[in-house]
Amino acid sequence: MTDRTMYVTVAGLRGRGWNDAMIGELLGQADVQGRDPRRWALAPVRLYLLARVEAVERTPEFLGCAAVAGRGSAAAGAGAERRRRAVLAAIRAEPLAVPRLPAAELERRAVRHRHLLGARGPGGVTAGAMVRWQVGYLRHALSRYDTLLDGLYGDAGRAEAERLLRRRVYEAIAAVYPHLAHECRRRMEVER
């Protein structure tokens, strides 16, 4: 059995500032390769001798590669920040066209939308339920604006952009349909 305190995994190397190119170029083949005894996985675990890793980290080659990698990650971070700002500006500037429907048509479409989603219930519909259904239908009708979020992937900027877009959509619905404003405010609070 291998003493794991003497070895570093690839994830451990990344935590120390290594990237995949640096691992391949400066360390080469793993010292030990095998299955992880702590969990089942198809991919074998690559382990690098800690003493060898520390020795390579003291070399000028490693310091040069780490400096280049640091500049690359800073540039990538700046690019992501530019994309985030551009998407937020686009969301703020985009005019949202809420469909203007007569009350009876909006109710009919809201009920139809609810049934298309597979919801079934008792024959009678309360006024509160109808308001929720109408806001849900209008939110769905405005989902084409979700494409404004393209280019942001799984980071804090995307969450911020989604909140801004949701808020703008609910504010636009409330402006066109004042009787739905209370439900729109409620959803903005719940969906923070």
As to burial, measured by CB atoms within 10 angstroms (0-12 exposed, 13-18 middle, 19+ buried), residue 134 is: buried
Whether the CB-CB separation of 23 and 61 falls below 8 Å is answered with: no
Which has the higher per-residue pLDDT, 164 or 85? 164
What distance lies between CA 99 and its chain's CA centroid? 29
Euclidean distance between CA atoms 110 and 136, whole angstroms: 8
The pLDDT tens digits of the residues spanning 15-37 come to 888 888 888 888 888 888 876 65
pLDDT value of position 74? 59
Banded pLDDT at 1 (limits 50, 70, 90): very low
Which has the higher per-residue pLDDT, 44 or 132? 132
For residue 64, report the phi and psi dihedrals to the nearest 5 degrees.
-65, -45
Q: Which residue type does 180 have?
A: L
For residue 48, report the phi and psi dihedrals to the nearest 5 degrees.
-115, 135
Q: What is the pTM of this model?
A: 0.56
Q: 24-28, 67-71, 156-160: which has the highest mean pLDDT?
A: 24-28
